[in-house]
Amino acid sequence: MVTFFIAIILLITGYMVYSKVVERVFGINDKQPTPAYSKSDSLDYVPMPWWKGSLIQLLNIAGLGPIFGAIMGALYGPVAFIWIVVGCIFAGAVHDYFSGMLSLRHNGAQYPTLVGRYLGKTVQVFVSIVSLVLMILVAAAFVAGPAQLIAEITSIGFMTALLFIFGYFLLAALFPVNKIIGKIYPIFGGILIFMAISIAVALIFTDRQIPNITMDNLHPGELPIWPLLMVTISCGAISGFHSTQSPIIARTLKKESDGRKVFYGAMIAEGIIALIWAAAGMTFFGGTEGLQAALAGGGPGAVVNEISTTLLGTLGGILAILGVILLPITTGDTAIRSSRMIIIEFLQRGFKKVNGKGIVIVATLIVTIPAFFLSTIDYSFLWRYVGWTNQVVATVMLWTGAMYLLKNNKFHWLCGVPAMFMSAVVCTYIFYAPEGFNLGYEVSMIIGFALTILIVLWYVKQIIAHKRMGDHNYSKVA
């Protein structure tokens, strides 16, 4: 249990200390009008208080991610605590801060536009496709489960529940951000926090002992930690999906100094939630073998329900149902909303006049229709690719942040180091994973690190080229 408390303290300390370092490196200017005012449109660009933005951001980026992902990651044992803490402070929260603040600095620009500005058009086209596919899959996955649960506990049929949820998606994506999302999502964000705190308190006061990190139990089991753990636990450590969500809130910030509380702070909160559920997964079933059996019997949803109802009784059952229904829905709808923003922004680059309610509706339907179709079929084989796709998006965002800092003569290693780390993760994973090339572990490691070296060499080349350009400009001035 000592390890658990230390991990919580480290996450809080990370926010209190390292977030200020990140903010200082980025450099804020509260005298500069934010897009919420300079581009106010009563739809997406609407000023909101930072506390409301923080709760909405937490709900948008979290959903069931820090619950289900952390429970699956608990199979790797207490080493999951290390990844959540280190990954969240130095990679995930940095990633979220830069995805939000770069959007704010560039008039609320979406993730692909930011990538194109700092990594080139070719990479922009690639991530546009990848991020849209990711959000369609997320929306579909985060609808099927709630619809099935609604059908089981009520007289409403699965298809009726599905149509109802997608009808809500359209409303949430088309209405002004402060009308639906701004009013009810802070409440749901509070429910997510209350649920996690309740589980943590119940765990502490039961006779079950949260495992500590020791050499004997660091990683029980046969699956290799690298790179599987870093893909299994994404929400709560680092998740590329967040970079598609942060621009939604970036368009509502009243001043730049709110960014640290909203973007970095929400990620730390998600890390704490993931830490709590990872601890619950390791502890409740008496170890990783018991957790594995529970997952095999009913999946992460059943595990959440059993933990919640046993530890919290009737309240836990209500929270579990609310969590499994509300949390994924409130992530799916913002995935649709951000997809709509990306499509409109892409069209605006090719056509001079792209505006009006008509294009907003069309852009929303472009992603809603395939998401609805996927939610009605067995698309589990596609879902296996979401984890890797998600981390590729995160890696590209970190490289975008690194190039922004480099071009502005700031401490680019802040994003560059975690970007190199995540490059090694995704390059190795795709060759080793069954949904990838399914090669042997040693071969995958060799290929993955070889590709990572090439990426690092590209990074070094960018640094040298920037230095030469600076020296050249200096000599011209002199």
Question: What is the model's pLDDT at position 169?
Answer: 85
The model's pLDDT over 443-458, given as tens digits with 9 standing for 90+, comes to 999 999 999 999 999 9
Question: What is the model's pLDDT at position 119?
Answer: 95
At 440, phi and psi to the nearest 5? -65, 155
d(CA 201, CA 195): 10
For 410: left if phi > 0, alpha if psi spans -120 to 50, otherwise beta; the answer is beta
Which of 411, 415, 470, 401 has its CA nearest to residue 118?
401
d(CA 285, CA 290): 5
When pLDDT is cut at 50, 70 and 90, the band that residue 221 belongs to is low
CATH class of domain segment(s) 2-394 = mainly alpha
Hey, what are 393's tokens?
């998006």
Identity of residue 161: A
Tell whether the model's pLDDT for residue 352 goes beyond 60. Answer: no
Cβ within 8 Å of residue 233, ≥6 positions away: 69, 70, 72, 73, 80, 83, 84, 87, 274, 278
More confident residue, 76 or 298: 76
Question: What is the model's pLDDT at position 478?
Answer: 42
Residue with tokens 């060759």: 431
d(CA 102, CA 54): 17
Identity of residue 447: I
Can you give the residue ranges of every domain in the chain?
2-394
Tell whether the model's pLDDT for residue 473 goes beyond 50. Answer: yes
Decide if 101 contacts 302 (C-beta within 8 A).
Answer: no
Identity of residue 3: T
Q: Whole-model pTM above 0.75?
A: yes
The model's pLDDT over 42-69, given as tens digits with 9 standing for 90+, comes to 889 999 999 999 999 998 888 777 888 8
Q: Indicate the average pLDDT of the chain.
A: 88
Which of 319, 328, 318, 299 has its CA nearest to residue 162?
328
Tell whether the model's pLDDT for residue 423 goes beyond 80. Answer: yes
Tell whether the model's pLDDT for residue 114 goes beyond 50. Answer: yes
Question: What is the model's pLDDT at position 218?
Answer: 65
Q: Which of 10-19, 35-44, 313-322, 386-395 has the lowest mean pLDDT?
A: 313-322
Strand (E) or helix (H) holding 5: helix 2-13
Provide mean pLDDT across the span 167-186.
Answer: 86
The model's pLDDT over 156-167, given as tens digits with 9 standing for 90+, comes to 888 998 899 888
Q: Which of 73-87, 145-159, 447-461 has the lowest mean pLDDT?
A: 145-159
Decide if 426 contacts 395 (C-beta within 8 A).
Answer: yes
Question: What is the model's pLDDT at position 334?
Answer: 85
Query: Mean pLDDT: which of 34-38, 124-128, 464-468 is highest?
Result: 34-38
